[in-house]
Amino acid sequence: MNCIEVRPLLDLLGDGALDTKDTALILDHLKSCSDCQAEWNDIEQLHASFQQARSKPELPAGFMDKVSARLKEEDRNVQKRFLQRAVPTVPVLAIAATLLLVGCFVWPAVEKQNGQVSTTLASADRLVEDLGAAGTLDMISDRNELTKKVGYDIKQVRLPEWRMENSGIYKSQSHVSIARFDFIKKTQSGDQHLSCYQAPAGVIRTTAANAINLAGKQVQFGTHGKFQFALWSQNGRDYLFVTELPKEQLQEIVRGA
């Protein structure tokens, strides 16, 4: 099974509504796909939060029943859209998170209990689109200062033939800071350019489905305008490589990174 087939079924897996065969296929896919595994972890955490919330006597009468009914309705809509293959599926987790936020205003104890702020995910297509836009990079050349600003350790990637031109923080609406590095390579046919976004694992997402294994990395490749991009997670970080080079060359760069 691939990501497009698995993701609409993750919520049903959490509810125990799948048969043994489908359950085994999905669990096997999760072992090799970090993106789907991250979404499955979110769903498990959400289900656990609902179970804890259900046991609280202060919860308004009928609130969880309304949440469950809404989730079931959205599940049916997601499955219908998936079967028709007309439009991309909508994660049920987003609907559930919205309902839970409303519940927190009615029942503040839920918010106090969780004490967590959900991370705004970043779209790979938006990151690629903003690559050439002015004012989207807060330039920071000192690595120690950049590490301090983003709030997490910057991981190095192996690009021995490339020289870094710029580094800094991508300006976005995400609660998590995203680092960006711009590289250049001098060749006889002209300069080649490559940019690398780096963020904690699970922050950068893409709808690209053509994931392949390159040197142990599960890499999703996509195209946006004149750019080719590659996205994967490794060592607790998301890496998004963006370039105008052909996909074959990008694959070789990712393979050795």
Question: Does one domain contain both 127 and 64?
Answer: no
Question: Does one domain contain both 247 and 171?
Answer: yes
Question: Does one domain contain both 166 and 252?
Answer: yes
Question: Does one domain contain both 140 and 234?
Answer: yes
Question: Does one domain contain both 59 and 96?
Answer: yes
Judge whether residue 46 has pLDDT over 80: no
Question: Does one domain contain both 145 and 243?
Answer: yes
Burial class (CB in 10 A: 0-12, 13-18, 19+), 193: middle
State the number of CA atoms in the 13 A half-sphere of 197 facing the CB: 33
Last residue of a domain, one of 63, 81, 114: 114
The CATH number given to whatever domain includes residue 231 is 3.30.200.100
CA distance 206 to 212: 14
| Segment 199-232, tens digit of pLDDT | 999 898 888 767 889 888 899 999 988 999 999 9
CA dist 139 to 82, 107, 149, 151, Å? 42, 43, 11, 16
Q: Is the pTM of this model over 0.75?
A: no
Last residue of a domain, one of 86, 114, 142: 114
Question: Does one domain contain both 177 and 209?
Answer: yes
Question: Does one domain contain both 126 and 56?
Answer: no
| Segment 62-98, tens digit of pLDDT | 666 766 677 667 667 666 666 565 444 445 555 555 5
Judge whether residue 110 has pLDDT over 60: no
Expressed as residue numbers, the domain containing 77 is 3-114
Last residue of a domain, one of 78, 94, 114: 114
Question: Does one domain contain both 96 and 180?
Answer: no
Helix 92-106 × helix 63-84 angle, to 10°: 160
Question: Does one domain contain both 140 and 242?
Answer: yes
Question: Does one domain contain both 180 and 90?
Answer: no
- Is residue 73 within 8 A of residue 95, CB to CB? The reply is no
Question: Does one domain contain both 128 and 105?
Answer: no
- Overall number of domains in the chain: 2
